[in-house]
Structures are given as C-alpha cells and as structure tokens.
Amino acid sequence: MLILDDVYEVFCDALVCDEGYLVFASLWGRDTAIQELLARVSLSRSEGGLTQLQFQVDHADSRHGQLARIGNPDRLDKMSGRMPKSNLFGDIVHLWLFDKRVKTPDYASRQAYSLLLPGQDDQLEISWNLVRSVCHLPLLEHWRDDVLQLMSDQRWLKVLEGYQVNLLAIDIPEAEFDRAISQMVKTGELSVYRQQREVCHDV
C-alpha cells in the first residue's frame, strides 16, 4: 500500500492521475483521519488545506514518492463505506475520492474518464462506447478502429497507468475533431457506404 504523508495513518491501495492531477484514489483510515483529509482537501492552503497529496511507498532500502495534485476541489466527488466494527483494526473507513467525470462524463466539454483494471481485455470496447457517448457526431460502428486510432494518435484518447488501476481519458476538441473526421470522409478512409454493403451482403 501507499502511505499518505499529509494525514497520519491514511493508506492508499489504488491511485491514478492525469497530468499530475488526482483522478481516482482508494483510501483507508480511521474515521477521524478520513474526515481530516476530506476537510483539508476542501480548504485553501492559507487555511491549512491541501493542494496536493504526497504518497510514499516503502521499500527495503528506500522510499519512493508519488504526488497527486488536487486543483479545484469542486471537481472531486467521494463515496465511502465502513468496515464492520467487529474487525481487528477498529473504526476503519474506506474512501473513494475521484474526479466527477469518472462517474458522469462532461458532455458539454466532451470529456470523460473510465477506470480500467491492469490487463483488462475489453478495453477497446469500453473506449469506443465512451467515445460515442460523449462525441457530438454520429459515429458509425464500422469506423471504430480508424476513429480510435486517430484519437490515440492525437492524444484525445489516452490510457494512463496508475498504482493498481489504470485510466482511460477522453478529451474531444470539437473543432479539430470535426475537421479530422471530415477529412477522413473526403479521402475515403471513412465511408458511409461500407456498412450498407455489409448489410446487403448479410441479407
């Protein structure tokens, strides 16, 4: 587990960031420690608040750090649960702290996140479904591979590795995306007729 330096006895078993900003963290600690963390995340630095979270992982001969910036705390959401009181460790709370776009895409800005397990085998299908859900253009099913390749090449679609969890990040710049798709249609890389021929063949 990672150890949170900023609040005593808070531990992290999953963490992923996008460009250094926290997108998802799975945190464990006693109720008082978790409440302190939530309070300090919402406060400004002058009020004793946290603008970033510093995590450490212990090795036999060294400590390696990982930094997660908070940015605007209003972008974060949370869910929590408690371990049964009969457990060996006392009043332990499990907190999920995450960017709201993990739960609900930002359709106005064409941005979305999806958490992935390392090695998850349906990543392609998850990527395509999420792209189609936030995209303002009606993307045809047989365009999938070409559109995802375009988005990956342009970094509009990224898969980011984290600690015990990975992240699919989508950010579609409307004007640039429109121009790229239009160009691909003009050059024949994307064709509306390909699907029609396939349907006729199936019939």
Nearest to 30 by CA among 86, 95, 76, 78: 95
Tokens of 136: 């303002």
pLDDT at 149: 96
pLDDT at 203: 34
What is the rounded CA–CA span in Å between residue 157 and residue 180? Answer: 14
DSSP 111-177: EEEEEE-TT-TTHHHHHHHHHHHH-SS---GGGHHHHHHHHHHTTSEEEEE-BS-EEEEEE--HHHH
pLDDT at 65: 74
Residues across the chain:
203
The residues pairing with 93 across neighbouring beta strands, listed in sequence order, are: 29, 82
What is the rounded CA–CA span in Å between residue 180 and residue 148? Answer: 12
Q: What are phi and psi of 198, to 5 degrees?
A: -65, -40
pLDDT digits (tens, 9 = 90+) for 124-139: 999 999 999 999 999 9
pLDDT at 102: 97
User: pTM (2 decimals)?
Assistant: 0.86
Place of tokens 């995590």: 55
What is the b/e burial string over 155-167, where b = at least 16 CB atoms within 10 angstroms of the residue's CB? ebbeebebbebbb
pLDDT digits (tens, 9 = 90+) for 2-14: 999 989 899 999 9
The residues pairing with 168 across neighbouring beta strands, listed in sequence order, are: 114, 159
pLDDT at 64: 61
- Residues (pLDDT < 70) of the chain are 46, 58-64, 84-90, 193-203
